[in-house]
Amino acid sequence: MGSTDRIKNVAARVAKWHDAGHQIVVVPSAMSGETNRLIGLAKQIMDQPDPRELDMIASTGEQVSVGLLAMALLAIGKDAVSYTGWQAGIRTDSSFTKARIQSIDDTRVLRDLANGKIVIITGFQGMDEDGNISTLGRGGSDTSAVAIAAALKADECLIYTDVDGVYTTDPRVVDEARRLSKITFEEMLELASLGSKVLQTRSVEFAGNYQVPTRVLSSLTDPLMPLAEEASSGTLISFEEESNMEQAVISGIAFNRDEAKITVLGVPDKPGVAFHILGPIAEANIEVDMIIQNQSVDGKTDFTFTVSRNDYVQAMSVLEAQKDILGAAKIVGDAKVSKVSAVGVGMRSHVGVASDMFRTLSEEGINIQMISTSEIKISVLIDEKYMELAVRALHKSFNLEQS
């Protein structure tokens, strides 16, 4: 949706699917750079814009997109209608700028589809129970699309983006990165949550929870390419671990530059210490990722966790205000760290993945500050200046360039 010419290409692609007999709902994002422009205007008025009013402003970008796309379809003879998120029945909670979808009333959309219309709905937004416009956070158009697909019980949700699928890692960092033809929902969820920018985490959660077949495709291909070819391209996010997937120990290396580490030093080691530290952080609507509590020494312990770099200043301020209540000796932080993760369902049936990962980083002289694991991933926190080196080394170590 970067320009009017690109919007015309989207219209041609949508018309092709509609001509093949499919009922189509389209969920576009704002035009390229528009949301940043709108947020920039808000910050010229307030350094920390009021969240409710910021949502009122930011939501307008998608409204322009749906109107233009509807016009582009009408111009080529297609019966199309555009709706805002709230007109389409998308209800959210009241967590402005980070709202979560609670329900979707699909009555209006289903009626239009039954009448042969192409329905275009703004991504990224909805309305809370008090009638306030809300937005889902950056990348929320993907979440809107999958949620609507789930509500409509769609045959498939196609996510068109500026890449042609999901890769073993970011090709801009590793030239040998390889596109995956299939990946499981579990792996995609981990990759998304760990820094892969292909899909927003919540969109993958929706797809997995409601079993919405989802395919990531390139928006840069010829919009008139044969339907069969397009339908089998990109990366399919699948429900089950197929036999060929089980042979791959690691499917991808994810990384996230947007990390900050905070350590609360010398707090009393007693029941409730973690709650008293993280409770105020949660009340400030700040998400916490990796957590470590050190061994008690003389009745004192250190508590370390990570947050998004964008939340770092606010998190430090919250904890400084709680310092005396916590009985902490000192609160320190580091906003120059990055997280690198290895993800793969094959970890369930293979041993030695962690040792291979740590050996590779050691050979490159990279110190590990924190470690977090799950059944199918291992994440490490490292100095941000070593991030790209770590990604390249791990990609090579796990032979991810080989199909």
Q: What is the predicted pLDDT for the residue at 248?
A: 67
pLDDT band per the 50, 70, 90 thresholds, residue 240: low
Joined together, the tokens standing for residue 57 give: 């402003």
H-only helix segments in 210-302? 227-231, 243-246, 273-283
Q: Which amino acid is at 22?
A: H
How many Å apart are CA 296 and CA 26, to the nearest integer? 55
CB contact at 8 A, 347 and 202: no
pLDDT digits (tens, 9 = 90+) for 80-137: 999 999 999 999 999 999 999 999 999 999 999 999 999 999 999 999 999 999 999 8
How many Å apart are CA 120 and CA 18, to the nearest integer? 13
**Neighbouring C-beta atoms of residue 76, cutoff 10 Å:** 12
pLDDT digits (tens, 9 = 90+) for 289-336: 999 998 888 899 999 999 999 999 999 999 999 999 999 999 999 999
CB contact at 8 A, 253 and 394: yes
Fold of 4-241: Carbamate kinase (3.40.1160)
Q: Which amino acid is at 36?
A: N
pLDDT digits (tens, 9 = 90+) for 142-164: 999 999 999 999 999 999 988 89
Q: What is the predicted pLDDT for the residue at 245?
A: 45
Which value, to the nearest 10 degrees, does the dihedral of the CA atoms of residues 167, 168, 172, 174 take? -150
Joined together, the tokens standing for residue 124 give: 């990224």
Joined together, the tokens standing for residue 329 give: 């000796």
- Ranges 54-63, 105-114, 344-353: which has the least confidence: 344-353
Q: Which amino acid is at 181?
A: S
Beta strands in 299-360 (DSSP E): 300-308, 330-343
The stretch 169-184 carries a mean pLDDT of: 92
pLDDT digits (tens, 9 = 90+) for 369-379: 999 998 899 99
User: Are 4-241 and 252-397 equal in CATH topology?
Assistant: no
Pairing of strands 377-383, 330-343: antiparallel
Closest CA to 221 of 156, 161, 158: 161
The stretch 326-349 carries a mean pLDDT of: 93
pTM: predicted TM-score of the whole model, two decimal places: 0.79
How many Å apart are CA 386 and CA 169, to the nearest integer? 16
Find the helix packing angle between 51-58 and 34-45, rounded to 10°: 140
CB contact at 8 A, 24 and 14: yes
If you search the block for the tokens 């003879």, which residue do you land on? 77
How many Å apart are CA 310 and CA 179, to the nearest integer? 30
The stretch 34-52 carries a mean pLDDT of: 95
The stretch 46-69 carries a mean pLDDT of: 96
- Ranges 56-70, 197-211, 255-269: which has the least confidence: 197-211
If you search the block for the tokens 């036999």, which residue do you land on? 243
Q: Give the end-to-end CA distance of the chain in Å, rounded to a whole number.
A: 33
Percent pLDDT > 90 in the chain is 80
How many Å apart are CA 162 and CA 271, to the nearest integer? 49
Q: What is the predicted pLDDT for the residue at 163?
A: 85
What are the residues whose beta carbons fall under 8 Å from the beta carbon of 114, sequence distance 6 or more?
Answer: none
Find the helix packing angle between 201-209 and 185-193, rounded to 10°: 160
What are the residues whose beta carbons fall under 8 Å from the beta carbon of 202, sequence distance 6 or more?
Answer: 100, 136, 137, 140, 142, 143
The three-class DSSP label of residue 183 is: strand
CA 261 to the chain's CA centroid? 21
Helix, strand, coil percentages in the chain from 3-state DSSP, rounded to 5:
40, 25, 35
How many Å apart are CA 226 and CA 228, to the nearest integer? 6
H-only helix segments in 106-156? 107-114, 140-152
The stretch 14-21 carries a mean pLDDT of: 97
- Ranges 20-34, 44-58, 193-207: which has the least confidence: 193-207
Instruction: Return the domain boundaries, the chain.
Output: 4-241, 252-397
- Ranges 100-104, 193-197, 199-203, 353-357: which has the least confidence: 193-197
CATH code for the structural domain at 252-397: 3.30.2130.10
Phi/psi class of residue 84: alpha, beta or left (left: φ > 0; alpha: ψ in -120 to 50)? beta
CB contact at 8 A, 239 and 185: yes
Q: What is the predicted pLDDT for the residue at 238?
A: 83
pLDDT band per the 50, 70, 90 thresholds, residue 243: very low
Element at 186 (helix H, strand E) = helix 185-193
